[in-house]
Structure 1
Amino acid sequence: MVGPVPLLARVVGALLALAGLVAAIAAFPTYLVVGGSAVAPVSGPVDALVALLAPAAAVVVGAGLLLGRVPRLGLAYAAVTGALAVGRLLIELYEGRGSTTRPAVEVLAGERVVTSSVDIGTGWVLGVVALSLAVLAGVLAMVAWGRTVMEDGGTLDPLRPALAGCAVVVGVAAALCLALPAADVPDRVVTDPTTGLETVVAGEGAQPLLERPGLALLGGLLLAVALLLCAVTAPSLRPRLGAVGGLLGVTVFLLAAALTGWRDGVRGPAVDWTLPGVGLLVLGLAAAALTVLAWRWRSGSAPVPR
């Protein structure tokens, strides 16, 4: 049963779709100019597919909410996306403005760079705008949630405890994987020409998310906490399609993060895809399975209200 869709919910849909559209455009121009080298996320068709995954999902879900279709699914997706965008926004602000305070080696779009000098590009500006729109959509979605009438017969209720338990495991494991880079510089094996002794030398690569200073550290903490909270609360959202929307938001975020790490790792020999990056992909697929299960689940134990 779906009641009248309030104007505020449609506004959330418009903001979410706009955020996705701006994020899609932001993937193509120059992102940052680091140490005189221009960095752009997209350099080929595979990069484009990876970069457009999350924006395309936001546009589709936002358009559906704008049209008033299954509104709580769209509101749940917007709320989860907005919560995760807060930490990402702070990290982006650090990358474009604060990373030169303490220059370090970073991996950006598959390139190993030193943040001795950073100039922002059009892609960074559009990315910050897209994340800001996502945060605003998430805040309004929480406000509009209680004003939007959408109920079902409680068909998902018997499955919710098991679904929540699995989602907690996914959320905790994903937060741990996010703490380490999904793509990093591999270690090198150096052979002493005199003795023939082989020594493993650790390559200086991307900083772990929770070892960065300032806004980046705060953003990393907020991102990890938001991911865990969203994974825990999504299965409890009502009706069933509300839970589907929340789980879908977690799924898209994990798959986008995992595929971005994979893209960075296969761009060149200087950077490898790491075990945490592989873990994010596995967890993203697990979250996708939970989303499909919640969407397809049917139970005759609860009567549908007339």
Structure 2
Amino acid sequence: MSVESPKPKTKQGLSRHFEGWQIGAILIGIGVLSGLLAIPRAVAPEQLPLPHISESDLRDDLREHHALAAAARQQGLSFEARTVGEYLRKLGNAEHKSRGLPAAGLADRLNDLRSSVAGFRRARGQTADRELSRLRAVQGELFVLALRGRGPAPDLTELGGAFDNAPGHASWFDAERFVGDDVEALLLFKVRWNHVTQLDDAPDFALRPNEWLALVRFLLQHPEGNDVGAQAHSQLATLDALGKRQPEYPLAFAQGTVFYRQGAYDVAALAFEQHLEAHPSGPWSLRARNHLLAARERGSSGQAALATDALTQR
């Protein structure tokens, strides 16, 4: 008795035309989805564009910083440099006690420090700057260690001042722990150190470009301020500075995001329009269109349209 092999079943209807084309169907679906994603829709902005940073250059800057700190430890510091360091610690204690707010005696501590720095630089010139750079480096390392709980607690207040208790620094901490990394903590320290010593404009003490961008990135994500309004003002000021240094940064887009979060929807719409006029295509264009629609819907024109619709339905 012969046994016939079962005949393969033949696909019936439309399904036979798609045999072997499942991948094609998937690709068609992806194409349709991509087309839908390109259609503007009202979406509220969530995140600010962050500046691009060369991590390798930043690591090079940090190696130089650590080399200066090592030199300070190995070779020591002059009496004049140590005196500057002591004045800075006295100022830090006074600032911490006042939580960074104006207080009696605070101006005197600041003047003592700045007079000491100015006198040292007049007397020793570039030698003073070299020693002051080493002083800042070693104090910066001590500050970061104290901030992380790996160094003497007094170093945090003496070297950081009101870093951990100023009302405007609330966004920097979560459950009393600093939210940034060690690099960001060090950069915040260096900026304050430069300011209180009046060395902001001295070339040897200025932040390197990638250090500055890393600091800006942190301040955009964790703005200073006692409340959301003050934090928004801080973000806008930071964005303005960033836009001047990086003309390619999507400044208007970022400003629109901040204004939208503050409920200034009409102003946000103008900012997104400005971005689209300058950049009709590009990595942020679709998002700008989405956010523009959302701002218009929630702005005065959108509210007026909603009110008109409500009246006509009565």
Higher strand share: 1
Higher helix share: 2
TM-score relative to the length of structure 1? 0.23
TM-score relative to the length of structure 2? 0.23
Higher relative contact order (CA 8 A, sep 6+): 1
